[in-house]
Amino acid sequence: MRSPVIRFIRDNYVDVIFFIAEAALALGLPFLIALLFSKKDPYILGLNAFGLTVITFFIIILFNQRVVLDKKIQPIYNLLSARFGHHSYDDQYFLRTNHYTKEKELLAEQLAQHVLPKVIGDLYNKNSNLRVINIIIDSGSTLTPLFPELISEGIQLNNIRYTEDMIKMEGKVDIFIYTNSESGIDEIHRIPSIKSLKLTERHFNLIGGQPLRKYRANTGRLTQMFLDSLWKEKKENKDTVCTISIITANWFTVKRNCTEIALLARGHGHMDFKKSVCENSDIILLVAPLGKILPINNVKILNDILKKYESDTYQDYVIPCDRKNMTYLITTQRPINVLYPLYRISRELTKEIKDTEGLNYMVYKSCKLFVPQGKMHDEIFLNDVPHHYIRENFEEIYGYSPK
């Protein structure tokens, strides 16, 4: 067995080398300096050497404090990061979580308690052969609050019975939840395990793939392979399997009267996931804070504006015309008041839109009223339009002045 000294040196050899080098520096450098300036007087030589040795040791101790403090504080930092989700200042996902925070929570509540139950009930009532409903939840900070909402409240359906790995509706329909959202699963793990929770982590299925840090998402070839397996199963079982997709995006572009809606996204595999899900779902729920819905005709307008600020551009995917009658836009309303810069687009979007001929996508009719924080116009403007390149080009994008 090796001695404790040898084990210590082996485990901390870097620190040992630095200590020896620092000790040699602390002892040797003062004597060299003292020798140069002492005129070879032994008394002055000794006094200067002693003084410089003390000063050098003091400087080295101060220099080493950062290393010592890092080692002591790092475990505490890791614990706080795991518990409270602290992120680095340049973490783009973390920065986005500070955008529309309360509005996203309101949308999550609306989805879990009103939209999903209605959509599932409609599917079930229209299709007596239905046996499986797959719910696919997209990644992104907009939908992250939906996960704790589902865990806490469940999906408010009558006569529902829960099992470990699925939700049973009236003993006839199995409801499975799939997601590629790492942040959503992370939110689930932050919730203490208490008996009053309606769902558990085992009700959620995390789709694998390559991590995309910027969006806390899994994307790529393996992700698409899994989706393809779901579409194959759906095709083989025809009307016994239905899919509800809950999709968000960096931006949505909406033409006048909702005659066209496009998703805008960027990042490796990000758009591929959204496109595949939209093309193969029976119901598409597009979810966005009102400030992420842009009344422009195409992505080129936004990309041209973006060139002045950054090099990365957006891809777009237009929801096909033949899927209009299965696509819902879920957002919020603003008070009809000039104090709120988005009140005009709110008025346009939330008015009742006739859909008898399939000419328009459907804006969910019970969009909740959301009042942005702030008492003065400039403060509200900053909270409601947090992206500086949108604020600085507001009139070009929205067609009217924010003031």
* Structure-derived torsion over alpha carbons of residues 183, 188, 191, 194, reported in degrees to the nearest 10: 180
Domains held by the chain: number: 2
> Look-up: residue for tokens 């595949």?
276
Q: Is this structure's pTM higher than 0.95?
A: no
| Residue 357 backbone dihedrals phi, psi, to 5 degrees | -105, 10
Q: Give a yes or no: residue 287 inside a domain.
A: yes
Whether residues 72 and 208 fall in one domain: no
Q: What pLDDT is stored for residue 18 in this prediction?
A: 60
Q: Looking at the structure, do residues 135 and 185 belong to the same domain, yes or no?
A: yes
The whole-angstrom separation of Cα 33 and Cα 35 is 5
Highest mean pLDDT pick, 30-39, 266-275, 362-371, 375-384: 266-275
**pLDDT top residue among 316 and 44:** 316
Stretch 230-244: mean pLDDT, rounded? 93
At residue 276, the pLDDT reads: 97
**Does residue 352 share a domain with residue 258?**
yes
pLDDT of residue 21 exceeding 60: yes
- Position 257 confidence tier, pLDDT thresholds 50, 70, 90: confident
Question: The tokens of 72 are what?
Answer: 């002591």
Q: Are residues 163 and 296 in the same domain?
A: yes
Q: Is 178 helix (H, G, I), strand (E, B) or coil?
A: strand
Give the percent of the chain with pLDDT over 90: 37
Residue 136 lies inside a defined structural domain of this protein: yes
Residue 46 lies in a domain: yes
Domain residues for the domain of 330 are 95-398
- Looking at the domain assignment, is residue 88 inside a domain? no
Question: Considering only 117-121, 162-166, 221-225, 241-245, which range has the smallest mean pLDDT?
Answer: 162-166
For residues 234 and 102, membership in a common domain is answered with: yes
Confidence check: pLDDT of 240 > 60: yes
**Residues contacting 154, CB < 8 A, separation 6+:** 112, 160, 162, 167, 198, 199
Claim to verify: residue 45 and residue 177 sit in the same structural domain: no
Last residue of a domain, one of 63, 83, 103: 83
Under 8 Å between Cβ of 134 and 241: yes
Please, what is the angle between helix 42-84 and helix 13-37, to 10°? 150
Q: Is the pLDDT of residue 234 over 60?
A: yes
Whole-number pLDDT of residue 336 = 81
* Conformation bin of residue 85: beta by default, left when phi > 0, alpha when psi is -120 to 50: left
Residue-wise pLDDT for 309-366, tens only, equals 888 889 999 999 889 889 999 999 888 877 788 988 888 876 655 444 455 677 766 6
89 lies in some domain: no
Question: How far lies 381's CA from each of 133, 142, 187, 229, in Å?
Answer: 41, 19, 29, 45
Most confident among 21-25, 147-151, 195-199 (mean pLDDT): 147-151
Tens of pLDDT along 81-104? 545 554 544 466 666 667 888 999
Is the domain of 179 the same as that of 263?
Answer: yes
What tokens appear for 155 in the block? Answer: 């999906």
Same domain, 282 and 304: yes
Q: Are residues 152 and 237 in the same domain?
A: yes
